[in-house]
Structure 1
Amino acid sequence: MFTFLPAPWLAAFAALAALPAGAHAGQAPVAGGAAETNTVPYFRSAMDGYKPFTDEKPTAWKEANDTVLQRGGWRAYAKEGTGEAGHQPTGAADPHAGHSTPMPKSAPKDKP
């Protein structure tokens, strides 16, 4: 009786599949006797410009409170988020100009 064993077939298939990959492993000869050049692009690591964290000396609380008072207190900081503090450049166009939201028309109510 014939027994089918997949292991030898899988090994043979893997060897046959690797043949075309090995054929392209060698580099083509350089024409004209020119010197071989490096074709790998320059690699730059993402960590090249890394600066480690350094602790900054905290400001004294009294000095920090005086700075906030000079700048207008908490209300000045609150206005920064709403754009009321004049942080928008003069002459800047309103980003919402020309936009309108149509109001849905309400259906007439049936009178009983």
Structure 2
Amino acid sequence: MFSPTYCIGGMLAVLAWHSQAQAAPPDPSAADAVPPVVYESPLQSYRRFEPQPPGNWREANDNVGRIGGWQTYAAEVWEASQSQDGGAEADAGDANPHQHH
């Protein structure tokens, strides 16, 4: 039995095969076919570890005291966590859960 659908499908398959058979392979002698390989060693920019002498611990302690010590760092972390939470703990009940302790 003749079906136009099979006939059209077969014709398309033959045309696709024919167009692939006619494609010319690339010319391997073309200079721009393959870019030149450039190698850069990762060791070329290597810098040797140079130990640094320890700093003055008294100046470091004085600087931490001027900044406000560990309490300043703890306050920064607490404020950042509050801004990320969006105040979810404040909506859940007491504003300060440790106020009764």
Normalised by the shorter chain, which TM-score bucket? 0.3 to 0.5
Higher helix share: 2
Q: TM-score, normalised by structure 2?
A: 0.39
Normalising by structure 1, we get a TM-score of: 0.36
